Structure 1
Amino acid sequence: MKPTVADLVKELKLNVYCGTDLDSREITVSDINRPALEVAGYFTHYPKWRVQVIGQTEHDFFSTLSESVKEERAQELMQPETPAFILARDIQPSQPVLATARRRNVPLLGTKISTTRLISRLGHWLDNQLAPRKTIHGVFVELFGVGVLITGKSGIGKSETAMELIKRGHRLVADDAVEIRRPSEEVLVGASPAVLSNMMELRGVGIIDVCRLYGAAAVRPDKRVELILHFEHWVEGAAYDRLGFDGECQDILGVKVPFVRVPVAPGRNLAMIVETAAINFRAKAMGLDVAAEINQRITDAMNQSKDPTT
């Protein structure tokens, strides 16, 4: 569902100078336009489908134009496809702009925020709202600052493991359904659907509210997805990565995320394994790759054994 101008007004606490049906006026792109060239009269590549931001420079130049030119430029700027115009720095709309906006029913908004800060906040919000999205079955937790997505078949122990992690001081982001969005090219952010926020299902117990039971420190609204741990039943004789050389990745929305298979068998302490995997991920990010170090030691030992002088 696309964000609307009404959502934008609420998020940035904007003043509404004119405009109706804000709830039904959708914003379809995250790009923002500052129409400096258009105010000067160049409309060849005017991106009228973007939110338009008017700063002090555009306003001051517009003020130097004659009344007839102001009217003409306002009519060219105020297109039905334009989601909204936002005046920064508490700029008050001129009469030609206000009259044209009312006549064409284009929302005209205002704020005291500086132009640069407005564009930054607006761009960040639109990127999040319009980011590609996907829902994945699993449990999403934060351990030692690492966002870990635990996946696997129903009943394999994902929620129970997450509950043990919460008791150890880690935080729940989402249980059962994890909404993942891609706000930028290489970043995935996971969150819980609003109706399931802070909730967790435990078979035999039912639905519990983690925030009420364990406090606000036990939950967080969203987190970057950095590591995927896939729980699967242990199969005797199956080949599992024992040294950490495989380096698998899973593609989600075009972003490759490190992926580790975790065999589940009676007696295995899954919470401890998940914690260790998260710590090891952080260590690798710091350049401490134990698997590569062991591989180098083995290679060095083999080379020494072949050297007749040793």
Structure 2
Amino acid sequence: MADSVSVKDLVNNIRLEVFHGEELLDQKQIKVSDISRPGLELTNYFKFYPRERVQLFGKTEISYAKDSMSSDDRLNTYRRMATVDTPAFVVSTGLPIPVELTQAAKENKVPILTSKLTTSRLLSNMTNYLEGQLAERESVHGELVEIYGLGVLITGDSGIGKSETALDLIKRGHRLIADDRVDVFQQDEQTLVGESPKILRHLLEIRGVGIIDVMNLFGAGSVKGHTDINLIVHLQNWDDETKFDRLGNGEEKRKFFDVEIPKITIPVRVGRNLGDIIEAAAMNFRAKNMGYDATKVFDDNLNELIKDNSTK
């Protein structure tokens, strides 16, 4: 989990324009993901002013200040808002920047950023980005591959063939998210996201070959920065004494933070093509989510057969 995000990172990732304070972007740090829309503050109520948040001005805030406040009142209010802890002022919808806001920002060294996006869209984009960056993270040993749009986390003991399986899936047209180490974080109540650490991004280690650059070898379409994790496939060495699920009705789950992810265990044995099996597992998982359950079809067919035989 990052303790803070620089305003420069926010600018680069949300594609904001810098109206004032280019030299301040590296210095200013954002420590909370919540965004403030300063409505009450414009009425001079500062008792609970969240000074540590990014302050977002939309049509409502800009119009109210212009129509209902004098120039001196606007300047005094903006000065109170521009504290040493305030990361940035952001103005949406391509609105003109009030001269009083610019003066207050310059006096107190607060950058002013702008965007042509609507206030609600910009608020959502900034919140999602900051929540992702500031969220608690867990590091998982495994491969994360996007298969037919599903994020599949492949886990298993070291040396069992996770990286080789990921390479096989990439050659089939699927996309690598992370090799060896996957950083996972909870985006919301139902969504778990995985990504690669920066040092390992787009790289894949194959024993006997070394490290390969997947994007360089297979093209930009073979990699992706992050994805939701929808399914965990655990690879386990074949053991005659271990009972593996044969019908698909013994679903396990693994919990990360507050999110439970479905998990299946696939036995590894010489001659089994894991790429084929994991592709089929991903398609079967998607079919179940769309309402088609092959296990239920089998059960229904079996019950029908028993019923037919019992009437003869």
Q: Structures share a fold, TM > 0.5?
A: yes
Change (3 A) 1:82 1:230: same
| Aligned residue in 1 for 2:162 | 158
Q: 1:304 to 1:47 in 2, by over 3 A?
A: farther
Paired residue for 1:6? 8
Say if 1:10 and 1:210 are closer, same or farther in 2 by CA, change over 3 A: closer
Using the alignment, how far apart are the partners of 1:99 and 1:166 within structure 2? 54
- Helix, strand or coil at the partner of 1:30: coil
**Mapping of 1:83-94 within 5 angstroms?**
83-94=87-98
Which position in structure 2 is the counterpart of 1:97? 101
> For structure 1, which segment, 182-191 or 201-210, has the greater mean C-alpha deviation from structure 2 after superposition?
182-191
Is the Cα contact below 8 Å between 2:151 and 2:228 reproduced in 1? yes
**Residue 17 of structure 1 corresponds to which residue in structure 2?**
20
Match of 1:271, SS state, is helix
The match for 2:256 is 252
CA shift at 1:137, angstroms?
Answer: 1.0
- CA gap 1:214/1:60 in 2 versus in 1, 3 angstroms: closer
The answer as to 2:257 corresponding to 1:242 is: no
- Equivalences for residues 174-213 of structure 1 within 5 A: 174-213=178-217
1:28 aligned onto 2:31: yes
Q: TM-score, normalised by structure 2?
A: 0.88
Given that 1:133 and 1:253 are in contact with CA atoms closer than 8 Å, whether structure 2 keeps it comes out as: no
Looking at structure 2, the residues matched to 241 and 148 of structure 1 have their Cα atoms a distance apart, in angstroms, of 19
Deviation at 1:216, TM superposition (A): 2.7
Report the secondary structure of 2:224's partner residue.
coil
Distance 1:59 1:166, change over 3 A: closer
Q: Over aligned residue pairs, what C-alpha RMSD do you find?
A: 2.3
Deviations 1:78-127 (A, max 9, x none): 23332211122344444443333233333333334433332233223223
Question: Is the partner of 2:179 in helix, strand or coil?
Answer: strand
Say which of 62, 72, 83 aligns to 1:59: 62
Partner Cα distance (2:146, 2:115) in 1: 36
Contact 1:19 1:106 in 2 (8 A): no
Aligned positions of 1:133-172 closer than 5 A: 133-172=137-176
Structure 2: gaps of 5 or more residues:
none
Q: Measure, in 2, the Cα distance between the counterparts of 1:32 and 1:188.
A: 22
Maintained 8 Å contact 1:19/1:107: yes
CA distance in 1, matches of 2:112, 2:203: 40
User: Number of paired residues?
Assistant: 308
Q: Does 1:222 align with 2:226?
A: yes
Give, in whole Å, the separation in 1 of the partners of 2:77 and 2:277: 64
Partners of 2:130 and 2:37 in 1: CA distance = 16
Structure 1 residues 248-257 or 123-132, which shifts more? 123-132
CA distance change for structure 1 residues 142 and 110 in 2, over 3 Å: closer, same or farther? closer
Letter in 1 for 2:178: A
1:185 is paired with a residue whose SS is coil
TM-score where L is the length of structure 1: 0.89
**1:79 equivalent in alignment to 2:88:** no
Change (3 A) 1:245 1:114: closer
